[in-house]
Structure 1
Amino acid sequence: MIKDCFVKNNQDETKMRKSDLKNSTSLKQNTDSQKKNCSIVSSTTSLKVDQDIQESGLFIKAMVNGTQCNLLLDTGVTLTILSDQLYAELDKTGKIGLSPVTQRIVGADGAPLTVQGKGLFCIRLGSQEFTTQAVIANIKADGIIGLDFLQTNQCLVDVCKTKMYVHGVEHELELQGNIGCFRVSLCENISIPPRSEMVCPGRVLDLPKLPQIPLLIEPYAKFQDSGRALVARFLVNSSGKVAVRLMNISSQSQTIFKNTVIGLTSPVREIILPEKEGIVNNVMPGENKETLPEHLNDLFDRTKTDLSEEQATKVKSILIKFSQIFSKSKDDFGRTSLIKHRINTEGEKPTKQPPRRLPHHAAEFVDQEVKNMIDKGIVEPSSSP
């Protein structure tokens, strides 16, 4: 769960403040073993989130007029398009005549493309050759195989197996580029008890294969606004399924059904550790660079005397994981704002009693204890009658 972090991309830097992440606060209680794939990130950790400006998607290796290139498959594009850079390379080997294009062509962002013209090109996929018309425009990819080529040549794209069949001939596809931001849904029905936290299995939608890099899980705004549960921001290892931390802060159980979209995920390319001493939580998933807090050293030393080395290592790991629940001193008291204490008087009127006189020898001790409790914030001065 990220308390306060910097999320960086190639275009800007945005700081997530603690006030923006208040809904990510979780109860300090134990959950199940699925937390082993989760990493807490400290307040000064910087995350480089993959938001590459290059095109991402399924590509196929091809030869266009004898020049090797990677072509992007896109069923949302009606025309096959080649980049102006690829055309410049082709033009070196022989002049390729272009005819003007009268229609206006826009990109996925709605901005118009700069079009040089259209012409006939020889596209070779493996042992198959096709002569097709393509438009030359300023696109980032080498080229885009559009719906015209896919329909004309009876192409069948298998996204799960990353393969394409052209007139029945199989061709390998390759997932390139960085995945953007994808939805995360639950794998099963869950019921969260009142004021409790759970780690639940989720899966990333719209993605054929998870990258073998850490993923940043964030809340899905629509689910968060429903008020059923809070979704923590935190890092997970990508291993088929992803763990999602949910918290129910209400006084009633909350049931969330399978396939409910609860979060969004983006890949994290790098975690930049701050050059400070004493920071122990900012590590990559799978690493353990944490140290035992000083106030638990005595407890650990007394505990490990009758334990094997393996058992002592496990105990140390547990103490580090739950170090926040141990008081650092006799004056270290825990507090919560989730529950408020009420004294039910059942309609009875307040009573008034005269103060009891203290023995003279105890007055100094009582004054000192009251002062200590005021200094620690346990009590506060009262002006009631």
Structure 2
Amino acid sequence: MGQADFNIKINDKIWKQRFVIAEIDAPAIIGYNFLYSKNCKLDIRHSKLTIEDFEIVCQKESQMSSIFKIASEQNVILPPNSETIIMSKVLGDSSHLMDAMIEPIMKQDNEILVARALVDPSNGRIPLRIANLTSFESTLYKSTCLAECHLCDNILEIENTERTSRKVFKIKDSKADEVPEHLVTLFKNSISNLTEEQRIQLKGVLKRQAEAFANSKNELGSTA
């Protein structure tokens, strides 16, 4: 689609690099020309990339968290019977996510509601729509956990019929019989000695009990 020069920031060090713009899933790929010019060394065994005089620990995409907690950045007063947009922070490094879905974690009977939304959490901050359905003022305190941010990789850009500069997106239909994303690896590692009927039964158990499994290490608690 073309070329453009961008600044690359890695470990607080910045380089300018020319990129080829293409319709690919990855937000950016560092190519051979950058690796060669910066005398990069890739150590596959120890999962390290050396750029000039410092090392970066590499991580497989499959090992990166795809679910993050979302918390309020500061104390916010919510007027009664109103809706407010507040800024929230992502708890963890979500820089590898481009499209994600906000999922409320408060109970359905709670009178403070968080709206679902499609967001870009890559910079660590997300605007949230909060509704106070009560007849009295309510306070959200700093660092209150309000929602979860889930990776959403089934986003499809559609034609904008309104002819505005804004992009229009929709979520592709998902297959009802699929194993929940955070249990796919567990399912694959468990079916080698199972019959087809047993595999179907296992898939059903995992789908029904999906909430019993942590979506990521950030969900794991602790015991005293």
TM-score over 0.5 for the pair: no
More strand by share: 2
| TM-score range normalised by the length of the shorter chain | 0.3 to 0.5
TM-score (norm 2): 0.45
TM-score (norm 1): 0.27
